[in-house]
């Protein structure tokens, strides 16, 4: 796959050798793939013949509700217990008690081996306690290091990254600049299929 994001200073592979891009000569056709890359050793090559060398881990965002933790199960149980409460998630302590989704925590840790993994979750704006409760859930289930990489944001397309694992399409997922992996879809019904896809994709 051709990488259109190559920039000056990047290392690229051309004819099985690694070169550093010194400058980029833009194509008069305005086709990025026709740009000419000039290397530090004096050689040049067309962009479409080069592949970027990945020196940093790809950025991967993971949603919380119904991806890492079982929001729907707790919501249904609370509605049965108290039918008059239409929004159980607005109650104190709701997010603290959410169960882990099957294989979620182990899969998260596996992906950390090859990816720069962050949590990206939408806050429940009608329950300000959720900011703290989600942070406490992360601390308990994934530890302080992951808590430091936890982002609460209502529009996920604002974040720059390579992959987003999320079950919903209502909060900017469709406009995310990288690849949106829809958790619970026919292609990615569970964590096992996602780990298999992402780990093989990086080999």
Known catalytic residues are 63, 65
Q: How many CB atoms lie within 10 A of CB 1?
A: 4
Q: How many CB atoms lie within 10 A of CB 159?
A: 17
Overall size of the chain counted in residues: 203
Query: Which position has the token pair 């008690």?
Result: 97
How much of the chain is in helix, strand and coil states, percent to nearest 5?
35, 25, 45
Question: How far apart, in whole angstroms, are the C-alpha atoms of residue 158 and residue 25?
Answer: 30
Question: How far apart, in whole angstroms, are the C-alpha atoms of residue 71 and residue 99?
Answer: 8
Q: Quick one: CA dihedral 175, 179, 183, 184, positive or negative?
A: positive
């Amino acid at each position: 796959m051709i990488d259109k994001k190559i920039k000056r200073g990047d290392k690229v592979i051309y004819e099985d050798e690694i070169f550093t891009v010194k400058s980029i000569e833009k194509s008069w056709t305005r086709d990025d793939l026709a740009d000419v890359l000039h290397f530090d050793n004096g050689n040049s090559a067309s962009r479409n013949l080069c592949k970027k060398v990945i020196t940093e881990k790809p950025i991967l965002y993971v949603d919380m509700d119904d991806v890492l933790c079982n929001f729907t199960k707790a919501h249904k149980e609370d509605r049965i217990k108290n039918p008059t409460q239409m929004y159980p998630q607005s109650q104190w302590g709701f997010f603290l008690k959410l169960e882990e989704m099957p294989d979620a925590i182990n899969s998260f840790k596996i992906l950390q081996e090859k990816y720069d993994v962050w949590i990206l979750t939408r806050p429940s704006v009608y329950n300000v306690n959720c900011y703290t409760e989600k942070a406490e859930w992360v601390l308990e289930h994934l530890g302080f290091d992951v808590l430091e990489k936890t982002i609460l944001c209502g529009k996920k397309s604002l974040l720059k990254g390579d992959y987003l694992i999320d079950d919903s399409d209502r909060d900017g997922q469709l406009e995310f600049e990288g690849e949106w992996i829809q958790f619970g879809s026919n292609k990615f019904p569970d964590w096992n299929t996602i780990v298999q896809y992402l780990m093989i994709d990086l080999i």
